[in-house]
Amino acid sequence: PDDGYRLWMRYPDRTIAPDAVTVRGRSAMLDAAAAELRRGLPAGFGPVLLATATDPAVQALRLPSEGPEGYVVRRATVDGRPTLVVTGDSERGVLYGAFALLRQVAVNGAAAPINLRSRPRIALRVLDHWDNLDGVVERGYAGKSLWDWWTLPDYKDPRYTDYARANAAIGINGAVLNNVNAKAESLTAPYIAKAAALADIFRPYGIKVYLSARFSAPIELGGLKTADPRDPAVARWWRAKADEIYRAIPDFGGFLVKANSEGQPGPRDYGATHADGANMLAAAVKPHGGIVMWRAFVYADTDPDDRAKQAYDEFKPLDGRFADNVVVQVKNGAIDFQPREPFHPLFGAMPKTPLMIEFQITKEYLGFATHLAYLAPLFAETLDAETGTAPGATVARVVDGSLEGHTLTGMAGVANIGDSRDWTGSPFNQANWYAFGRLAWDPGLTPEAIAREWTAQTFGRDPEVMRTVTAMLMRSREAVVDYTGALGLAHLMATGHHYGPGPWVSELKRPEWNPVYYHRADRNGIGFDRTRTGSNAVAQYAPALAAKLADPRTTPEGELLWFHHLSWDYRLASGQTLWETLARRYDRGVATVAAMRREWEGLRGQVDPQRWAKTATFLAVQEREARWWRDASLAYWMSVNRRPLPAGMAPPA
Ligand code: GCW
């Protein structure tokens, strides 16, 4: 039975003759690349030569350079024989070239002409695993952690290698192994040895290991009285800890830190700044070439008027104060991975600081693993957003460093991976892992192109399957927006677990935990006023953009209630009222899911039974729950606004 284990590496049964793939030079990475081609290229293909650009035969071809991680795959005559050459300036380039070749064959067929070259636009392409040491994955919906800490470092589950292959195939080059809500224990000798075992497995696939560091570890592990970053004893402790880690993992990537957010310890506990904290850790890894990814997601009870303003308020004044091996990791939006959020105002606001973007691949707020929601349109929407700081300035150009001249660039995705047989809890969630990797390599790729690639590799090249699956993917995220709350509403999910509707919840300890805090609906209107008459969060954007967002007429409709509190009778550009439009969007969302379900039904027999059935079941759940969202939300809004349903709409069940 086909359970989806093979991800986007569904190779043909009859494969190339092993000796049709030749490697010049010996290394674990080149061997991995060759092994992959021998495993994945179809019979009759070849010959293929793998070599770096320093090889004399490749040098003679005078191929273009694609930089330290890029590749060139081209037909050429080598030693008098027509050969497909897979090359790059580095072994890593060769590895990525091999996977690009496999992708090309899977997507376009073995007979299509081959002439590939590419280089990544972003340097750090990282998965953040929110995996706890007890095997529970925070916000994970695909089983338990892939890392079996109990049997590591001795037992090297072959699945770790498959994980590395899948990532190398899409260009991911880093993995943060443990949750940002970190336990100090992950920095003890036994866990360092376990991380080292994983690093050894990942290394041939170009993946570096990172660890989340708990800021108070010097107290918990070192017996110090303080974790104050300005205390020399604290700095010494981290320095020794970094040395210890690098002895076990010479190419250790560095630390990821969540500090002073949601109860985590941090430099603010001592009156020091985030820059003080980050720089102290950065100094510890600097001699080894390591970096610190310091998160800007600070969520404390210090900014009660608008949670969305906290990160900017705290970090913007620190621009230029971070060490050169620190990158500040900023979530795509200012609240928290909602189905739709305006881009985070820090992008463009800290030109002297490298900022990496953090997306959530796991669908904490978009229906967990069950609901089908393809996230590339969400990722691309943020990346393509114009920051207004300079002509042509987009979030992507902040993130790729081209706008502000940074080379330490990165994109992080909170992984949706667990030990479920299909890795991500459903076959379609694999598309989000895939899309994240592809966009981290090239943020200019379109969601549609990525959807087509993924579909061909995952379900095959049958035109009807391709058309249907791609169309389902492309509409799926907007459907979630529609049935959970359109027009810029956010955070209406049930409290705590965030699954299902809960716009009405009240009496929580902190006001901003209460959904009412976000939607502010009453008899007259709905929405969060973030203009001058409200929290003035719009002022965190560049002036030209801030002016646009200050006026509901020039605010994108999808972000309207994020920035404005408006009357239920406010007229949108369409001439319909706000209430009518909002209500009809719920219906539209339900209808889209119902249509996706019918379309999938039409593929019965064209997709292998196990993956087909799981998806069909999940779509049925999603349709039921989209109705639940619609009916519960409408009933609640109607209890607040006392308005009838728009003409022709069926009353909530
Ligand atoms: O998305 C929220 C989650 C928390 C998470 C936090 C964060 C790891 O609800 O579970 O904690 O953000 O990003 O730190």
User: CA-to-CA distance for 530 and 536, rounded, in angstroms?
Assistant: 5
For residues 83 and 207, membership in a common domain is answered with no
Q: Distances from the Cα of 416 to the Cαs of 370, 428, 482, 613, in angstroms?
A: 12, 11, 23, 21
Spatial CA neighbour of 386 closest among 343, 446, 436 = 343
Spatial CA neighbour of 55 closest among 99, 84, 80, 87 = 87
User: CA-to-CA distance for 519 and 274, rounded, in angstroms?
Assistant: 31
pLDDT at 362 over 80: yes
Residue 143 Cα to ligand 1 middle (Å): 18
**pLDDT band at residue 303 under the 50/70/90 scheme:** low
536 touches ligand 1 (CB under 6 Å)? no
User: CA-to-CA distance for 487 and 478, rounded, in angstroms?
Assistant: 11
The pair of three-digit structure tokens given for residue 74, joined into one six-digit string: 């081209």
User: Any bridge partners for residue 74, and if so which?
Assistant: 85, 115
Q: What is the pLDDT of residue 287?
A: 98
12 falls within a domain: no
Compute the CA torsion angle 537, 539, 543, 547 (nearest 10 deg).
60
31 falls within a domain: yes
Atom of ligand 1 nearest to the CA of 264: 14
User: CA-to-CA distance for 305 and 536, rounded, in angstroms?
Assistant: 10
- To test ligand 1's pocket by mutation, which of 128, 131, 132, 181 has the most ligand atoms within 8 angstroms of CB? 181
Q: What is the pLDDT of residue 57?
A: 94
Mean pLDDT, the chain, integer: 97
359 touches ligand 1 (CB under 6 Å)? no
Q: What is the pLDDT of residue 76?
A: 97
pLDDT at 226 over 90: yes
336 touches ligand 1 (CB under 6 Å)? yes
Which residue, of 412, 427, 459, is where some domain finishes? 459
550 falls within a domain: no
Mean of pLDDT values over 62-84: 96
**Residues near 292 by beta carbon (within 8 Å), at least 6 away in sequence:** 254, 255, 256, 257, 278, 281, 282, 285, 323, 325, 326, 327
For residues 253 and 265, membership in a common domain is answered with yes
Residue 175 Cα to ligand 1 middle (Å): 18
User: CA-to-CA distance for 607 and 175, rounded, in angstroms?
Assistant: 32
Q: Which helix (H) or strand (E) holds 560?
A: helix 560-563
Residue numbers annotated as active site: 262, 336, 364
3 falls within a domain: no
User: CA-to-CA distance for 601 and 616, rounded, in angstroms?
Assistant: 7
pLDDT at 97 over 90: yes
188 touches ligand 1 (CB under 6 Å)? no
Q: Distances from the Cα of 67 to the Cαs of 53, 187, 238, 436, 475, in angstroms?
A: 11, 34, 34, 22, 36
Q: What is the pLDDT of residue 651?
A: 83
130 touches ligand 1 (CB under 6 Å)? yes
358 touches ligand 1 (CB under 6 Å)? no
Atom of ligand 1 nearest to the CA of 261: 14
pLDDT at 516 over 90: no
User: CA-to-CA distance for 17 and 562, rounded, in angstroms?
Assistant: 58
User: Any bridge partners for residue 257, and if so which?
Assistant: 294
Q: What is the CATH number of the domain that holds 318?
A: 3.20.20.80
pTM for the predicted model, two decimal places: 0.98
Atom of ligand 1 nearest to the CA of 337: 1
**Distance between the two ends of the chain, CA-based, in angstroms?**
39
Helical spans, DSSP H, in 120-273:
158-169, 189-202, 217-220, 232-248
Residue nearest to atom 11 of ligand 1 (CA): 181
| Residue pair 164/127 in contact by the 8 Å Cβ criterion | no
Q: What is the pLDDT of residue 302?
A: 64
Residue 489 Cα to ligand 1 middle (Å): 20
Residue 518 Cα to ligand 1 middle (Å): 18
Q: What is the ipTM of this complex?
A: 0.99
Residue nearest to atom 2 of ligand 1 (CA): 336
| Residue pair 181/138 in contact by the 8 Å Cβ criterion | yes
131 touches ligand 1 (CB under 6 Å)? no
Q: What is the CATH number of the domain that holds 45?
A: 3.30.379.10
Domain count, the chain: 3
pLDDT at 509 over 90: no
Residue 139 Cα to ligand 1 middle (Å): 8
Q: What is the pLDDT of residue 508?
A: 72
Q: Among 82-91, 491-500, 568-577, which stretch is predicted with the lowest mean pLDDT?
A: 491-500
Mean of pLDDT values over 115-136: 98
Q: What is the pLDDT of residue 154?
A: 98
Would you call 269 helix, strand, or coil by DSSP?
Answer: helix
Which residue, of 426, 459, 492, is where some domain finishes? 459
User: CA-to-CA distance for 244 and 239, rounded, in angstroms?
Assistant: 9
**pLDDT band at residue 305 under the 50/70/90 scheme:** confident
For residues 27 and 140, membership in a common domain is answered with no
Strand boundaries in 563-627, DSSP class E: 566-567
The pair of three-digit structure tokens given for residue 210, joined into one six-digit string: 């990172």
For residues 615 and 585, membership in a common domain is answered with yes
**pLDDT band at residue 513 under the 50/70/90 scheme:** confident
551 falls within a domain: no
**pLDDT digit string (tens) for 25-35?**
999 999 999 99
- To test ligand 1's pocket by mutation, which of 128, 130, 341 has the most ligand atoms within 8 angstroms of CB? 130
138 touches ligand 1 (CB under 6 Å)? yes
For residues 246 and 284, membership in a common domain is answered with yes
Q: What is the pLDDT of residue 505?
A: 73
Would you call 538 helix, strand, or coil by DSSP?
Answer: helix
For residues 152 and 300, membership in a common domain is answered with yes
User: CA-to-CA distance for 351 and 320, rounded, in angstroms?
Assistant: 8
For residues 152 and 293, membership in a common domain is answered with yes
297 touches ligand 1 (CB under 6 Å)? yes
Q: What is the pLDDT of residue 5?
A: 98
**pLDDT band at residue 72 under the 50/70/90 scheme:** very high
258 touches ligand 1 (CB under 6 Å)? yes
Atom of ligand 1 nearest to the CA of 138: 10
**Pairing between strand 124-128 and 115-118?**
unpaired
Q: What is the CATH number of the domain that holds 651?
A: 3.90.1330.10
Q: Distances from the Cα of 538 to the Cαs of 235, 337, 384, 552, in angstroms?
A: 39, 19, 19, 12
Does the bond joining 511 to the residue before it have cis omega, within 30 degrees of 0? no
226 touches ligand 1 (CB under 6 Å)? no
For residues 387 and 332, membership in a common domain is answered with yes
For residues 141 and 237, membership in a common domain is answered with yes
Atom of ligand 1 nearest to the CA of 181: 8
Residue 138 Cα to ligand 1 middle (Å): 8
343 touches ligand 1 (CB under 6 Å)? no
139 falls within a domain: yes
User: CA-to-CA distance for 549 and 543, rounded, in angstroms?
Assistant: 10
**pLDDT band at residue 374 under the 50/70/90 scheme:** very high
For residues 286 and 415, membership in a common domain is answered with yes
What DSSP state is assigned to residue 570?
P
Which residue, of 437, 459, 481, is where some domain finishes? 459
Mean of pLDDT values over 140-157: 98
70 falls within a domain: yes
User: CA-to-CA distance for 372 and 600, rounded, in angstroms?
Assistant: 12
User: CA-to-CA distance for 299 and 312, rounded, in angstroms?
Assistant: 11
Spatial CA neighbour of 317 closest among 263, 276, 262, 261 = 276
Range of the domain at 407: 124-459
Q: What is the pLDDT of residue 46?
A: 86
For residues 90 and 215, membership in a common domain is answered with no
| Residue pair 325/292 in contact by the 8 Å Cβ criterion | yes
**pLDDT digit string (tens) for 591-600?**
999 999 999 9
Q: What is the pLDDT of residue 264?
A: 97
pLDDT at 465 over 80: yes
Q: What is the pLDDT of residue 306?
A: 92
- To test ligand 1's pocket by mutation, which of 129, 139, 363, 493 has the most ligand atoms within 8 angstroms of CB? 139
Spatial CA neighbour of 119 closest among 103, 101, 97, 102 = 97
Helix, strand, coil percentages in the chain from 3-state DSSP, rounded to 5: 40, 10, 45
**pLDDT digit string (tens) for 377-408?**
999 999 999 999 999 999 999 999 999 999 99
For residues 222 and 283, membership in a common domain is answered with yes
178 falls within a domain: yes
